[in-house]
Amino acid sequence: MGTRLLLSLVLAGTAAAGCVLPDVNAAVQEDNRWAVLVQYAGGLKDPLVKQYGWLEDHIYVLDPDKERIEKVLQELGEKLTGKDILLLSSCGHAKLGCFIGTDVRYPEIERHLKKINAFKFVFQSTCHSGAAIRGLPSADIVYAACKEDEEEGGIFFGLFAEAISKPELSDKDGDERVSLGEAFDWASRNEPIQKGYVELAKGNPGFWPFPTGPLPVRKERTTEYNVWFGNDWLIDKKPVER
C-alpha cells in the first residue's frame, strides 16, 4: 500500500459559517470529553486516559462491528449535550465508501452523528479515508490520512499516536501539552522517513497498527495542509499522575 498523505481539515454545517470551537477548560472540568475508537484506533486510549486525564468510562474501544458501533453511537446520541466533545476515530482497512471494514458504511454512521448534539471530531486513518469528508457532513471537523481514491496502510496513525504519547517530541511551542495541530505536524513531517517507521515499530509496538510485514514503499506526498486551528481542545493540560 502507498503512503501518500493528505491531511484534510473540513468545517461542516455551522462550522463552515464560522464555527466556535468548544470551551476547553469547561470540557475538562465537567468531564465532557468522549471518544469512540474503532479497531487500531484503540491505541489512543492509554495516552488519553493516563497522560491527559480523560475518563476511562468515556472511551469506547470497539471492533469494526456494524451493530456494536451503531449501538454505541445511538447511546451517545441520547446522552451527550452541546457541552460535550466527541472524538470518533477509526484505523484499519476500509473499502471505498466505508467508515471501517467492508460493511460499516458512511450513511449509517452519518445517520447517528446527526442525532448527537455535541462537537464532533472525526479522525480517520484507513484506505480511502478522504471519503469521510463527503460521507460525514454532520461532523464539525474531519481529518483524513489520505484522499478518497488513495490507499494507505495506517502508517500515519502510528506516528500520530506517538506524537500524543510523547510530548517531548511534538510539543512545538513548549507549553507542555500537545495540540491537534502539533500532533499532525509532527506526524506529517516524519511520515515519509522509512527509518522512522522501523524505530517506531520497534519502540512502540502497542501504538503500531501493523507491527509485522514489509514496510511500505515511499511515495511523494501530494498536498499538505496546515491543520492548526488555534485551540487545544482535544489534548490539554499537563500530564496527570496515575
What pLDDT, on the 0 to 100 scale, is given for residue 138?
76
Segments of the chain scoring below 70 in pLDDT: 1-30, 127-133, 143-156, 175-177, 179-181, 184, 188, 190-242
Between β-strands 59-62 and 33-39, what pairing exists: parallel, antiparallel or unpaired?
A: parallel
Could you count the other beta carbons within 10 Å of the beta carbon of residue 10? 19
pTM: 0.66
What pLDDT, on the 0 to 100 scale, is given for residue 177?
67
What pLDDT, on the 0 to 100 scale, is given for residue 135?
73
3-state secondary structure the chain: CCCCCCCCCEECHHHHHCCCCCCHHHHHHCCCEEEEEEEHHHHHHHHHHHHCCCCHHHEEEECCCHHHHHHHHHHHHHHCCCCCEEEEEEEECECCCEEEECCEEHHHHHHHHCCCCCEEEEEEEECCHHHHHHHCCCCCEEEECCCCCCCCCCHHHHHHHHHHHCHHHHCCCCCCCCCHHHHHHHHHHHCCCHHHHHHHHHHCHHHCCCCCCCCCCCCCCCCCCCCCCCCCCCCCCCCCCC
Kindly report the CATH class assigned to 10-153.
alpha beta
What pLDDT, on the 0 to 100 scale, is given for residue 27?
52
How do residues 61-75 score in pLDDT, each as one tens digit? 999 899 999 999 999
What pLDDT, on the 0 to 100 scale, is given for residue 35?
92
